[in-house]
Amino acid sequence: MITAAPAQLTLNQWALTGKWRFESEAVVLDDASGSIVYQFQARDLHLVMGPASPATPVRFHVLLDGLPPGNAQGFDVDNGGYGTAVEQRLYQLIRQPEPVRERRFEIEFLDPGVEAYAFTFG
């Protein structure tokens, strides 16, 4: 069980908190709470993810530099940073307005059973 992410990450570095299981292509959250923290620089940040069990939605909350994303929200979150993974697919979590700069992204899962595969950028 990892209880806290490092205070500082370098560009393109990520960290997990919570109880995760590493599988061949994904990490799977086994507890009711866990997060992925990622230091990135891109306009769009996407995550390929979904519930490990079909028809079992997983709620999540996204932060950008420790705050709700506001006008930097992606298509799959509200401006408070909340969303729900309901199927295995690519989720657009952040869409930064100009100017694009290096940011700290965090996604906290509010339910167990998410499978996370890969970040992609735009």
Q: What pTM was computed for the model?
A: 0.94
Output the average pLDDT for the chain.
94
What residue ranges define each of the domains in the chain, with the CATH number in brackets?
A: 14-121 (2.60.120.260)
**Which tens digit of pLDDT belongs to each residue from 45-82?**
999 999 999 889 999 999 999 999 999 999 999 989 99
Q: How far apart are CA 9 and CA 1, in angstroms?
A: 19
Best CA proximity match to 28, nearest among 97, 113, 102 = 113
The two structure tokens encoding residue 119 = 């970040």
Ordered strands of the 114-121 beta sheet: 20-22, 27-29, 114-121, 44-51, 89-95
Model confidence at 6, pLDDT cuts 50, 70, 90, reads confident
